[in-house]
Amino acid sequence: MAPSLLYNPAKLPPSAALQLAQQAPVVLQGSSSASETVDQWATYENLLLSCLRTGDDEAAAKCMDRLEARFGADNERVMALRGLLSEAQAQNNGELEAVLKQYDAILEGNSTNIPITKRRIALLRCMGRVSDAASALVQLLDFSPTDAEAWSELSDLYFTQGLYSQAIYALEEVLLLSPNAWNIHARLGELQYMAATTSGNGGGSQQKYLAEALKRFARSIELCDDYLRGYYGLKLVTTRLLKEQAKQAKQTDDGEFTLPDSKTIERLDELATAKLSEIVRHSTLKDRGWRGYDEREVAAARELLSQNGIER
Amino acid sequence: MAQVPVQTIHRDPQLFYWILFPITIVMILTGVLRHYASVLMQSAPKKLDQKAIREQRSLLHGINVRGNFHALSKKSFATRRDALVTAFESGAYLKDPERAGQGQPNPLSDPSSMEGMMGMMKNQMAMIIPNTLIMSWINAFFSGYVIMKLPFPLTIKFKSMLQAGVMTKDMDPRWMSSISWYFLCIFGLQSVFNFLLGSDNAASQMAQQMGGMGAAPAQMFGPGVDPDKQFKAEAENLAVIEHYSVLDDVEDRLLEGITV
């Protein structure tokens, strides 16, 4: 699929973003007021973002001027984009501090300006003030608890701090907002697997984490066929469970998930292995209908499979 | 059977230019004017302060937890439910907690709801005034005679629709009076306005009527609704949920459903 300026460039790989940013002269040549279409302003916004990604600040500033001319400098979204631009143009830490002060001043006047609040949090995080960013996020989520983007950012923030149970809680909130998001299910499984890996004491809590991770990965596969991340995680969890089978603790029923019996785990392990090797084989051959997997993810899956082959 | 003789009425051909066209043009022009007038009169949506947003979104959050609890494990659902029920019942999320339990506020005393009603009034007025004016104009000048003959036959039921203002019993329903042309214009000019002004114009009254009906769900946070009662009801809804998880037996479903 060719990259289009109508998609958010943050989700595109760098090469596609570069391709988009190179369209800037053509897009900016056209006059902005000739005929206003629905897609036009989305195009400018996405062009602005991809230009910033690829370091073309000049074209980005032009896009910004057009957006500002159309929507006014006091539009919340335009304000956030303007802030993003000045963050990108800042040369040193002092200038970034100035941008941060500007954000604070804006929020002083209007505390419900959510785009600016989010930019401020992102800037704080970039500047390494993670705990400030986390408390600002918690504040934002207190008055706007239905914001999935903010919850997942908070989860990521806690995760980088190693606070797994908080990260899991935040990600569960995302799932409450979009219960069928398979990538969130898989991500939650990953978090739980990591929590199980680090909770060194073993025994009960570790097993609970692993049980839920297994189920989360299974659910993500159920929602999205041939989901590479889901199968990868499932394979990791089942391998680990099979290895540790001997020292399985007594399972208690206190509202947590319980592990399935070892036969089911074995079958899940076989399924994951088979599916992973199928995906790896097909996408290496670039078969029709099997394109679109991230190459790095496929490579990781191949590595996992070869590791397992040696162990057996 | 005797052939019904074709009715012929000799009309001045000038009728066509001096009545049919003016009515149509006046209708289109008023539609365009009304569109621009309502664009000018539109007040920007009022900004909610942080506490009001908090109140609304917390309620939405509760509704989300109630609707999607199956994505959670029993334990994490239980902690959320307990926290939310306590907070909802104590009114922790209310915009002004001291007003809780005082019953419905009078919607007329709240300035923010007055504004909403004024906006509705303005819209209604922009619709009613021009329509009344044009209708009385047509009644005063052009009433009482037919102005055109439709090129297709119609049944007798259409008489009252097409010959309003002409009290002739036996006339073929194909003949049409000026006031009926006006009514046809009201309902038929929608696509003309769409072409001239874009699809979400304020000129066509059909769209406004539909909008009035569609706005009903937005009344959830509207004036006259007591948020404290909403929170209490939501707390009750949350408390009675019997939890199940979509993750129960997911691995069995997976093994059944997917074969390599």
Q: What CA–CA distance (Å, rounded) separates A175 from A172?
A: 5
Of A179, A254, A268, the CB nearest to B255: A268
Question: Comparing B206 with B165, which gets the higher pLDDT?
Answer: B165
Q: Is the pLDDT of residue B258 over 90?
A: no
Q: What phi, psi does A130 have (nearest 5°)?
A: -65, -40
Q: Residue A194 has which token pair?
A: 């990591």
Pairwise CB contact (< 8 Å): A179 & B255: no
Domain limits, chain B: 14-127+190-257
User: Which pLDDT does position B101 carry in this prediction?
Assistant: 61
Q: Residue B13 has which token pair?
A: 């051909």
User: Which pLDDT does position B213 carry in this prediction?
Assistant: 46
Q: Residue A226 has which token pair?
A: 């041939």
Q: What CA–CA distance (Å, rounded) separates A191 from A167?
A: 8
Cite the DSSP H helix spans in chain B. Answer: 14-15, 21-41, 50-67, 74-90, 111-142, 159-162, 178-188, 190-197, 205-214, 227-239, 250-257
In which residue ranges of chain A is pLDDT below 70? Answer: 1-3, 7, 9-11, 31-36, 199-204, 245-256, 309-312
Give which of B228, B57, B224 is closest to A145, Cα–Cα.
Answer: B57
User: In Å, how far from its chain's centre is CA A167?
Assistant: 13
Give which of B16, B27, B33, B23 is closest to B141, Cα–Cα.
Answer: B23
Q: Is the pLDDT of residue B135 over 60?
A: yes
Domains and CATH numbers, chain A: 162-247+257-312 (1.25.40.10)
pLDDT digits (tens, 9 = 90+) for B177-192: 888 888 888 888 888 8
- Cβ of residue A169 closer than 8 Å to a chain B Cβ: yes
Segment B248-255 shows an average pLDDT of: 85
* pLDDT tier for residue B138 given thresholds of 50, 70 and 90: confident
Q: What phi, psi does B236 have (nearest 5°)?
A: -65, -45
User: Which pLDDT does position A247 carry in this prediction?
Assistant: 57
Pairwise CB contact (< 8 Å): B48 & A143: no
Q: Is the pLDDT of residue B103 over 70?
A: no
Pairwise CB contact (< 8 Å): B72 & A176: yes
- Specify the 3-state DSSP secondary structure of B177: strand
Pairwise CB contact (< 8 Å): A175 & B71: yes
User: Which pLDDT does position B127 carry in this prediction?
Assistant: 79
- CA of B141 vs chain A CAs: smallest distance (Å): 42
pLDDT digits (tens, 9 = 90+) for B23-80: 889 888 988 888 888 788 776 767 778 888 888 889 899 999 999 998 888 888 999 9
Of B61, B69, B75, the CB nearest to A146: B61
Question: Comparing B108 with B219, which gets the higher pLDDT?
Answer: B108
Chain B hits for A110, Cβ within 8 Å: 47
Instruction: Show Cβ contacts of residue B204 under 8 Å, excluding neighbours closer than 6 positions.
Output: B31, B189, B190, B193, B194
Provide the mean pLDDT of chain B.
78
Q: What CA–CA distance (Å, rounded) separates B60 from A144?
A: 10
Pairwise CB contact (< 8 Å): A219 & B246: yes
- CA of B209 vs chain A CAs: smallest distance (Å): 25
* pLDDT tier for residue B111 given thresholds of 50, 70 and 90: low
Q: What CA–CA distance (Å, rounded) separates A193 from A107?
A: 39
User: Which pLDDT does position B215 carry in this prediction?
Assistant: 43
Pairwise CB contact (< 8 Å): B254 & A268: yes
Q: Residue A38 has which token pair?
A: 């629905």
